[in-house]
Structure 1
């Protein structure tokens, strides 16, 4: 098993169905009350790469991608069109978008995070597959230059500074990102509806936990 650092064709994933999944364990007590807990610290995303009526070239591209990944064997990048950048869909990525932590004068590595908030609650999601060339980082509100002040590991989402941010200095970042996934099937069933079109009803894809 390995991870291929290549993105599933974005033109084929556009229009796909999917999103986050949680696992909640619910125990109903004798008095009817519930106790709820979860073994998962983080959500897991599922998608369906199946295609309705598309060109035969599109089908060939999907089958070629599937074969190159050896079915479920190798992971790959997936663009989640509903959630693919650090800001709102209508906004442009900027260095203040997401807090990564605060400097202590010694720490040089910071994990990219995306925080989801509703009411008084929040969830910080680790971002492990940033899109190369899109990461913008600031320390104390001042933007830093990639390749000069910091580097980004595109396979882990870790930002590494050449010089540790000072004590209490807020570290923030903006970026585009992909989801690490694999096919959740070892079989593709395609139907050729005409000489110029065909369809693949369902190709499940699931997020890879790293």
Structure 2
């Protein structure tokens, strides 16, 4: 899949609606009980970029971005304003936000991830598109320096340490991240008259696996 490492204008995604989608297969048995299963290990997020359009210049920027991506052909980065940090929205990114692995004395490459917890349950979401310059990493409670002790692949979300962490030491990270998406339609319909009357175009965007 072709992917452009460029972010949809953040000012235009601010105010958009959307969020995670799950797929659950439910079978109701003869006794009234249910069997539930899912073929998806990870959620897939959907958004509507159209609701954030506020001016004619916004529409022009949308059309330019859409044409440059050739519609649905090329993926791109999307800032989900409701979930773009490794920490709470009100907090600052810290190198101890997320545990991304444990040292075994050999492994030096670790995938960034964000864990969502509720009660006794948790879900670890792989983060493939961190924002360059925002990633902070630590080992055993001590922060490391990017470019000296570790490097980051912003296109894949992998952290490479210069030295393998000692056995049992927690590898932690904090970061901002984007969602890899594509347009979910090959058409953007705009009408200046309708826009001035308060109507906005529907511009569906869907997460892609990378």
TM bucket by the smaller chain?
Answer: over 0.9
Count of aligned residue pairs for this structure pair: 210
Would the aligned equivalents of 2:12 and 2:52 in 1 still touch at CA under 8 Å? no
Q: After superposition, where does 1:46-61 map in structure 2 within 5 Å?
A: 46-51=46-51, 54-61=54-61
CA distance in 2, matches of 1:202, 1:10: 17
Q: After superposition, where does 1:1-210 map in structure 2 within 5 Å?
A: 1-51=1-51, 54-193=54-193, 200-210=200-210
Would the aligned equivalents of 2:53 and 2:59 in 1 still touch at CA under 8 Å? no
CA distance in 1, matches of 2:197, 2:107: 55
In the TM superposition, what is the alpha-carbon distance from 1:53 to its structure 2 partner?
6.0
Return structure 1 stretches of 4+ with deviation > 3 angstroms: 194-200
In the TM superposition, what is the alpha-carbon distance from 1:196 to its structure 2 partner?
7.7
CA distance in 1, matches of 2:197, 2:30: 57
**Where does structure 2 lack aligned partners over 5 or more consecutive residues?**
none
CA distance in 2, matches of 1:62, 1:110: 36
SS at match of 1:76: strand
Deviates more, 1:46-55 or 1:78-87: 46-55
What TM-score, normalized to structure 1? 0.96
CA distance in 2, matches of 1:3, 1:71: 12
SS at match of 1:50: helix
**Where does structure 1 lack aligned partners over 5 or more consecutive residues?**
none
RMSD, aligned α-carbons = 1.6
Quick check: which one's strand share is greater?
1
